Amino acid sequence: MKRLILIAVLMINLALTSQVYAIPSNFVKIDTITYGEDMIHTYLHKQTDMTVKWVQNNDPKASFTLGVRTPTEDSSGVNHIIEHTVFTGSNKFPSSTLFFDANANYPHTYMNASTAADFTMYPFSTPYKECYEGLLEVYLDSVLNPNMLKQPHSFYEESFYYDPDTNKYGGVVYNEMKGANSQIGRVIFRNIRSSIYKDTHYENDSGGEVSEIPTLTYKKFVDTYNKYYYPQNMMIVLYGDQNINNTLEIIGTYLDEYVETKNYNNTKEPINVNVVPTLDATRIDRTYNTGGEGSYVIKSFVLPNEVDVLKMLEIDLWINTYMMDQNSAFRQNLFAAGIDSIEIFKDSELYQPVYSIIISQIAQEDVEHTKQILENELEKVWQISENSQLEQDTLQENKLGVEKEDLSSDRGLEISHSIISNWVRDRDELSYYKMKDYLLDISDIDENIGKDLLKTSTQVDLIITPSTEVEPQANPLELSEIDETRWSDIVASMRTWQKAYSGKVLDPTKLNKMLMGTDMSSKSYKKNGIKYTRYHSNTALLSSEIYMETSHIVQKELPYLFLYSYCLQQAAQELTPFEGVLKSRIVALENDQGYTPYLKIEMLTTKDKNQQLLLDAAIDSLKNKDSEWYELQLEKIIGEFYGNFQNDIIGTLGSLTNGGQSGYKRYIYEAHYPFYQFVIECKTGVQKDYIAQILAMIDKVRPSDGTSIAVIGDKKDAKQELEHWQQYCDEHKIDNTEKIDYKFETIQKDSVYYKKGQVDYLLYNYDTQKDYVEAIDYLVAAYATKNYLQPEIRIKKGAYGSGMQVRFPNTISIYTYRDPHYKSSIEVIEEMATTLDMTDIDEKLRMAKSEALCDFQTQFGLLGSDMKKASILHAIDLMDVSEKYIKSTQKEIIKITAEELIEEMGHVDTIVNDSKKGVCIKKN
């Protein structure tokens, strides 16, 4: 999990406390450390010395994370393939689709696994105690007792195989990495790692190189599992409100059984993953072949291994202040030199962490010049004087981030990840908390610590240029040790295994106990045509949402509205002193009258800040920007659009296929590709007065009849803030806005675009023509995904993902992701209505209900933070949807009968035939 500089790291004060829970006799309690409302208990399993930590608090979203130290010895993807394959059946749960069974059977907020360069992680999170215990057993039995050790079928399914009947290559990980390795961000990351840590296990690709995955043998696969998967080399972190005695008993049972039934060696030590970087060159030149045309100039700073987490935090703060802040001299000088695409990447999950400055999309002839400019600016930044205002901006922004992080629904997973990541590298496991304490306590940045550590670190220049040669594609059959004549039998046996177990392996959950409401108190009123709502939450922060209608903006001016929205947010990011976060975006919401477009402004501040002044300051800043600043924003929009095209392919196909729809979807399409084309016209001088047109939007987009404002915060604070917004609207309101009836051209053709890579992507975008989707739609999607799309496309064809999704208010989509051949998937999808198996429906229906319920609750934020729930409630209120819809739809999902589902499944062909299709095809 690699990140750019993000200082959202948490903390409160330290104290010792005593444990009040009785624990099983096969565990011993080591200690308890308290940070604010979190008590971190450490337990040791007596027979195996395996460590279990429990972060105890009153958070109902309990989580479990198991970590294994798994250094990457080659690029065959073996650890990644093990991570996939452990969930294809275990001793207690012998189902080849165990992961998907559990995913459907146990509603959860998170359920996954991931492989890094030196560890593998198995996390899940759920607020339901019954589901927690069910998932706990599935995870423990899968990791400790996987059936993959007894048969090779799951190994071939998840790694690589050749099907002679179709003349196609399969393997879930094989096709996953075909897509992943064509993404430029991953290419850059892999080049940094492999250059600096050459000849160590970090040089290898933990996900797997496409050319090496076929070389992996079943024997090497089993041997690698046995080498790494033993208790001393594992750690478990528990989080949240849970019965710790019961949880430890379950864990202890599995560990005791491991000792009794496995070839257990109590003298084995944890794997040491720590290695030092090679650093045998100060400049490295590489090429890439993912279809891009730009070059990349990268300067990496390799820290010494003795840098502790608090000193790294000072580096983060110094970089954010003097290198990343838009108002810093470093950034301003680079902008003036024509360098606008720059980011800093922090790779902290290493023995010696690495910071890298990345300058993107450079013409090849400008590489050396750009490198020299960067060197010159670095020399200046080392000599720069203290800027106390920028330092305070950085501190205030990061302290606000800390407060927000405490409210996150993913808090338990983030803390657990931090603990395990530090355990893997033998660092302070509770650094997450210590960094937060330190950040909240300091009043200024120690620029000498951050600057000096960065300046004196080892520096490496990495130049990555596009390849001018066609990279030869090796024949996977020649790479594999399996003789080509054996594949027919291997695939036939694999297919038999995939179908072999059809019985129930998981205990049913009591869905009636899992119905959820929003549980948020609120109060609303209207004045002068504007609606004001406050949502009450126990928080020190204030969040405001302002929906300003834009239906009066004439059609030809819409691109300027979209530009205004983007530029307003960018201007707000550059404000100093820092007062809070302001985001702006274009939305359109369906309602009883059709749809209404809005400019939505979201603001997050501490409760002592004046949000109205923040909004005015952003607008005033926009008025004072020069033409160079606006030209830079055009470059950013083009770059972001290109990045989304490359990295969010399903999302891009969704936006493109909206062009063939009507209503709010067609409006949103206008803010996508047509807007991108318009921005290019602005950049090339076709649209000459775009700056004046953007500024004209300031007076055209203001509070008016139909505006809706919501504040989320403490009851008293929210009430007071809403009064401030009412006064603001009274002063800034515009009257007599006439709604425009937009006449957009409907795109009749399917959307197709080409991307350098080895896999395809496919999307069907269907409009239900209903006011909003119903319970039966969620159930149909869950049933079709689990019982048809996943087995037929993901498992049989080897695509990385496939499914059907429902999106409120009225969209049903079918997708395939990293698909080896989209045309054969189209055939499978078009046969779904007649081929979908509706036998043994009672058990399948029960699991589909569970998954549909989970999908619905996630979509409506019922398991998220108060801010997310309030934001969704605010939106559906504008859509004329009653809050009762949320509870009633959940009840209806549970009540649907088999007969009703069978009848509705007969209409699946309508979804397929009437959808707008989008395809991303690999470029030859």
What pLDDT score was predicted for residue 504?
65
Q: How confident is the model at residue 5 (pLDDT cuts 50, 70, 90)?
A: very low
Inform me whether the pLDDT recorded for 918 exceeds 90: yes
Give residue 452's domain range: 283-466
Q: Domain holding 648: CATH number?
A: 3.30.830.10
Q: Is residue 487, in this structure, part of any structural domain at all?
A: no
Closest CA to 728 of 518, 548, 566: 548
User: Same domain for 587 and 711?
Assistant: yes
CA distance 704 to 263: 73
Q: Cis check for the bond before 277: say yes or no (omega within 30 of 0).
A: no
Give the global pTM. Answer: 0.93
Question: Total domain count for the chain?
Answer: 4
Q: Is residue 499, in this structure, part of any structural domain at all?
A: no
What pLDDT score was predicted for residue 838?
87
Which residue blocks in 214-324 are alpha helix, DSSP H? 218-228, 244-261, 309-319
Inform me whether the pLDDT recorded for 503 exceeds 70: no
What pLDDT score was predicted for residue 452?
93
Residues ≥6 apart with Cβ < 8 Å to 707? 529, 530, 531, 546, 547, 548, 549, 729, 733
User: Same domain for 562 and 679?
Assistant: yes
What pLDDT score was predicted for residue 13?
31
Average pLDDT over residues 606-616: 96
Q: How confident is the model at residue 924 (pLDDT cuts 50, 70, 90)?
A: low
Contact 770, 778 (CB under 8 A): no
User: Same domain for 132 and 186?
Assistant: yes
What pLDDT score was predicted for residue 17?
34
Q: Is residue 507, in this structure, part of any structural domain at all?
A: no
User: Same domain for 228 and 363?
Assistant: no
Contact 577, 392 (CB under 8 A): yes
Fill in the amino acid letter for 852.
A
Residues 652-687 pLDDT 10s: 999 999 999 999 999 999 999 999 999 999 999 999
What pLDDT score was predicted for residue 15?
32
Average pLDDT over residues 739-764: 90
Q: How confident is the model at residue 428 (pLDDT cuts 50, 70, 90)?
A: very high
Q: Is residue 643, in this structure, part of any structural domain at all?
A: yes
Contact 550, 599 (CB under 8 A): yes
CA distance 389 to 578: 9
User: Same domain for 809 and 889?
Assistant: yes
Residues in the chain: 924
- In the three-class reduction of DSSP (H, G, I as helix; E, B as strand; rest coil), residue 846 is classed as helix
Average pLDDT over residues 213-235: 98
CA distance 863 to 62: 11
Q: Is residue 503, in this structure, part of any structural domain at all?
A: no
What pLDDT score was predicted for residue 783?
96
What pLDDT score was predicted for residue 353?
94
Contact 923, 757 (CB under 8 A): yes
Inform me whether the pLDDT recorded for 134 exceeds 60: yes
453 to 298, 341, 431, 799: CA distances (angstroms): 19, 25, 19, 45
DSSP type of residue 911? H
Average pLDDT over residues 464-485: 89
Which residues face 170 on adjacent strands? 161
Residues ≥6 apart with Cβ < 8 Å to 633? 563, 566, 567, 570
What pLDDT score was predicted for residue 10?
29
Residues ≥6 apart with Cβ < 8 Å to 831? none
User: Same domain for 259 and 293?
Assistant: no
Q: How confident is the model at residue 12 (pLDDT cuts 50, 70, 90)?
A: very low
Radius of gyration (C-alpha) of the chain in whole angstroms: 28
What pLDDT score was predicted for residue 306?
78
589 to 354, 560, 676, 741, 878: CA distances (angstroms): 44, 20, 22, 15, 7
What pLDDT score was predicted for residue 19?
41
CA distance 211 to 209: 5
Q: How confident is the model at residue 615 (pLDDT cuts 50, 70, 90)?
A: very high
Average pLDDT over residues 44-69: 97
Compute the C-alpha angle 688/690/692, nearest 5°: 110
User: Same domain for 259 and 290?
Assistant: no
User: Same domain for 255 and 302?
Assistant: no
Taking every pair of C-alpha atoms in the chain, what is the biggest distance, in angstroms? 81
Q: How far is CA 721 from the centre of its chain?
A: 32
User: Same domain for 230 and 315?
Assistant: no
- Is the four-CA dihedral 464, 467, 472, 473 of positive or negative sign? positive
Name the domain boundary from 700, 732, 764: 732
CA distance 463 to 451: 24
**Cβ neighbours, 10 Å, residue 596:** 20
User: Same domain for 226 and 139?
Assistant: yes
Residues 312-365 pLDDT 10s: 999 999 999 999 999 999 999 999 999 988 999 999 989 899 999 999 989 999
Q: Is residue 18, in this structure, part of any structural domain at all?
A: no
User: Same domain for 550 and 595?
Assistant: yes
Q: How far is CA 282 from the centre of its chain?
A: 34
What pLDDT score was predicted for residue 501?
62
Q: How confident is the model at residue 118 (pLDDT cuts 50, 70, 90)?
A: very high
Residues ≥6 apart with Cβ < 8 Å to 417? 1, 65, 121, 123
Average pLDDT over residues 780-798: 93
What pLDDT score was predicted for residue 870?
96
Contact 53, 419 (CB under 8 A): yes
CA distance 536 to 539: 9
Q: How confident is the model at residue 290 (pLDDT cuts 50, 70, 90)?
A: confident
Q: How confident is the model at residue 757 (pLDDT cuts 50, 70, 90)?
A: confident
DSSP of 673-684: HHHHHHHHHHHT
Inform me whether the pLDDT recorded for 75 exceeds 70: yes
Residues ≥6 apart with Cβ < 8 Å to 626? none
Q: Is residue 781, in this structure, part of any structural domain at all?
A: yes
Percent of the chain predicted with pLDDT > 90: 84
Compute the C-alpha angle 23/28/33, nearest 5°: 85
User: Same domain for 767 and 698?
Assistant: no
Q: How far is CA 548 from the centre of its chain?
A: 29
Q: Is residue 506, in this structure, part of any structural domain at all?
A: no
**Please, what is the average pLDDT of the chain?**
93
